[in-house]
Amino acid sequence: MNKLSVSNTNIKLFGRGVPVLIVASVIGGTVGVSLACLMMWLSHRSYAVDSADKHGISVKQASRLGGVAIAFGILAYLIMARQLGLQTPDASQGALQWFRGYEGLALGIAMVGLAEDILQKISPLWRLGVPMAATGAWLWFAPQILPSNMEFWGFADLLNHPLVMGLAVTVLVVGFVNAGNIADGANGLLSSIALCALWIVYLEFSTLILFAALMSCAVFFLYNILTGSIFLGDFGSYGLSAFVALSLLDLFVNGDASMWFCAALVSYPCIEMIRSMYYRHSHKIAMMSADNSHLHNKLYQTFKNSGYSSLVSNSITGLILGAFPSGLVAVFFVLGLIPSQSSLWFFVFLGLVVIYLLGDQLLGQRLRQFENGQAGSPKPSTSV
């Protein structure tokens, strides 16, 4: 790449960065502006980057250190809160009320992702095994977060046993971490889903770290969809997904939400992971390998085929799949249209599965028709 093209790229990125800085200052104040500037700087680094075609949703290399930026934002907000002497509603418990108790586990899982971001050669077995071992060990010493007395249609005694429930929760948490990693990309999708989920949990518990995570995710999401030059990376996707999974588990056990409400809130990455596993099995692809057959890849490519630029296609994809279903479920909750404990959320979740499968089929057919049309069109003659 010559100096002129590099200069043009920097000018374009700065041009997009100006509205980001303005909105970031409104959303997150001084910390928000600092976070946006940090992401601008990270976007120009030559290390910890992914090739343009790895996620199937970009045409340029992108930094995979967005998670580092979010961690910086969370830490900065907490330091500011400490300096200002802010307390949560239950001030009698002091600094302990800043956290819910599982943040250390989320950070530990995130460190596995950070090692992969830097080394990019950790085996899938280690990336799966270490989070499972860490989650299992944490649940052993903190069994109070495990669900209890759940109805299981005649198997309640067996499935409510602490060891069985602990294994199930471990699989669910680590499974969602991998689901979130699948949804991560330069389109703001995972951060928008996390925003909706953490917003609901914050309305219930109002801890300062939830507020810090919300503000940091909001600024990251804005920068992510406007520039497409940075994404969460494994550190960010592992840590944020683990934090969301544990927060929703906390909401289910200690708050006022049903299991199916939580499932509907983060349904896209969960459904996508199950469908992706089926796809890899049916096409004899290694289960832990990456592929670009996901719904967000198909939606992105559909917009690209319609003539939109890569950045616009990216942003629209993230906004659509973030707003539906997670944003819609969050709005239903806030407006009180369906109580969070209602059994109707089971049917909402089933409906979301059906809509996802239909959308995946329709987009797949449209892309195949486009490819067949392209292949069948006559090539321009080169003869004189």
What pLDDT is attached to residue 32?
78
**What string of DSSP letters covers 321-366?**
HIIIIIIHHHHHHHHTSS-TT-THHHHHHHHHHHHHHHHHHHHHHH
> Residue 156, SS3?
helix
Amino acid at 79: I
Retrieve residue 341's tokens. Answer: 């404990």
pLDDT exceeds cutoff 70 at 3? no
Q: Is the pLDDT of residue 382 over 60?
A: no
What number of other Cβ atoms are within 10 A of residue 279's Cβ? Answer: 14
Tens of pLDDT, residues 139-162: 999 888 888 777 766 666 777 788
Return the minimum-mean-pLDDT range out of 23-32, 168-177, 334-343. Answer: 23-32
DSSP string, 287-303: TTS--S-SHHHHHHHHH
User: Which is more confident, 164 or 90?
Assistant: 164
Residue 33 lies in a domain: yes
Give the closest residue to 149 by CA, choosing from 252, 261, 266. 252
**Rounded CA separation 168/216 (Å):** 31
Band the pLDDT of 87: cuts 50, 70, 90. Answer: low
Q: What is residue 295's predicted lDDT score, i.e. its pLDDT?
A: 87
Judge whether 319 lies within some domain. Answer: yes
Question: Residue 275: inside a domain, yes or no?
Answer: yes
| Mean pLDDT in residue range 303-316 | 87
> Is the Cβ–Cβ distance between 249 and 205 less than 8 Å?
no
Q: What percent of the chain has pLDDT over 70?
A: 80
Q: Is residue 126 scored above 60 in pLDDT?
A: yes
The pLDDT of residue 356 is 93
**pLDDT (mean) for 78-90:** 68
pLDDT for 163-194, tens place per residue?
888 999 999 999 999 998 888 765 678 999 99
Task: Report the run of H or E that residue 146 belongs to, with start and end.
Answer: none
pLDDT of residue 70: 93
108 belongs to a structural domain: yes
pLDDT of residue 376: 55
Domain count of the fold of the chain: 1
Task: Find the domain containing 83 and state its range.
Answer: 12-370
**Contact between 204 and 100 (Cβ < 8 Å):** no
pTM confidence score: 0.85
Is position 1 within any domain?
no
Angstrom CA distances, 54 to 119, 125, 139, 289, stand at 16, 20, 35, 12
Q: Residue 60, SS3?
A: coil
Q: Which of 36-50, 78-92, 231-245 has the highest mean pLDDT?
A: 231-245
Residue in this structure with the two tokens 């471990």, named with its chain if needed? 170
Tell the burial category of 320 from Cβ atoms under 10 Å away from its Cβ (0-12, 13-18, 19+). Answer: middle
**Residue 83: pLDDT band with limits 50, 70, 90:** confident
| 127 or 10, greater pLDDT | 127
Report yes or no on 308 lying in a domain: yes
Q: What is the pLDDT of residue 59?
A: 47
For residue 7, is it within any domain?
no
Which residues partner with 49 through β-bridges?
A: 63
Looking at residue 96, its pLDDT comes to: 43
Residue at 344 is within a domain: yes
